[in-house]
């Protein structure tokens, strides 16, 4: 390279570098928190809690099941200071996953979201089994939980149920959610059990300290 081409190279490098760095950043989806959802049938904690946790989760996903004890431990430890809300984020190409979310949504309509939520995670292997086709397995569990079977059955067929799930899925996608579980703890995103275990508690402590 001749020495006369050096300033030209440096100039191009600077210009290109600036443009190439600015371009992806301007398209970047932020890790900003989702708008505060007030889905109280799927929320735990006081509405005026200083910290808000929103989890985008999928009942069919093994990592979400694995993360459940960690989430529950956080909610126990910071009880009264945290408002936790569950958001639907099923696999869109898996009808079992979508129907599981519909079952949870329909249980929520009768005030039994949490028992259904726990059963769906604990019995993932049961309802995901290829031997269990259709909604039968969810209807059986609804009956076991004491839900009105007719109302539950109607809800499981209703377009509004699936519309609600789809809306939450789209909302999650707009926020940059691609993997489950993804938790937003205030303005920070945690993806997967590893990130949750490594940083969630520290982050909540930091937020609580800042709030004092």
Task: State the residues that interact with other proteins by CB under 8 A.
Answer: 1-2, 4-5, 8-9, 12-13, 16-17, 20, 24-25, 27-31, 176, 178-179, 182, 189-192, 194-195, 198
Minimum CB distance to other proteins smaller for 59 or for 184:
184
Contact between 122 and 157 under an 8 Å Cβ cutoff? The reply is no
φ, ψ for residue 54, nearest 5 deg: -120, 125
Minimum CB distance to other proteins smaller for 27 or for 212:
27
Count of C-beta atoms within a 10 Å radius of residue 175: 20
Cβ 54 to other proteins shortest distance, Å = 14
Cβ 50 to other proteins shortest distance, Å = 23
Reported as type and span, the H/E element at residue 43 is strand 43-44
Cβ 165 to other proteins shortest distance, Å = 19
Helix-, strand-, coil-residue percentages of the chain, each rounded to 5: 60, 10, 30
Angle at 179 between CA 77 and CA 140, to 5 degrees: 75
Minimum CB distance to other proteins smaller for 47 or for 178:
178
Minimum CB distance to other proteins smaller for 25 or for 131:
25
């Amino acid at each position: 390279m001749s020495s006369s081409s050096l300033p030209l190279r440096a100039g191009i490098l600077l210009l290109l570098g600036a443009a190439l760095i600015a371009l992806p950043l301007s398209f970047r989806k932020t890790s900003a928190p989702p708008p505060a959802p007030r889905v109280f049938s799927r929320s735990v904690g006081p509405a005026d809690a200083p910290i808000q946790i929103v989890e985008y989760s999928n009942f069919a996903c093994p990592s979400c099941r694995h993360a459940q004890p960690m989430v529950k431990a956080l909610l126990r430890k910071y009880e009264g200071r945290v408002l936790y809300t569950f958001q639907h984020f099923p696999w869109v190409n898996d009808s079992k996953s979508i129907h599981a979310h519909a079952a949870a949504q329909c249980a929520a309509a009768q005030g039994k979201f949490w028992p259904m939520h726990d059963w769906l995670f604990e019995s993932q292997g049961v309802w995901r089994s290829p031997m269990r086709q259709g909604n039968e397995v969810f209807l059986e569990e609804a009956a076991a939980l004491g839900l009105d079977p007719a109302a539950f059955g109607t809800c499981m067929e209703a377009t509004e149920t699936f519309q609600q799930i789809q809306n939450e899925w789209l909302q999650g996608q707009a926020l940059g959610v691609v993997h489950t579980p993804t938790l937003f703890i205030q303005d920070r995103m945690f993806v997967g059990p590893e990130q949750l275990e490594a940083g969630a508690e520290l982050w909540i402590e930091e937020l609580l300290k800042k709030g004092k």
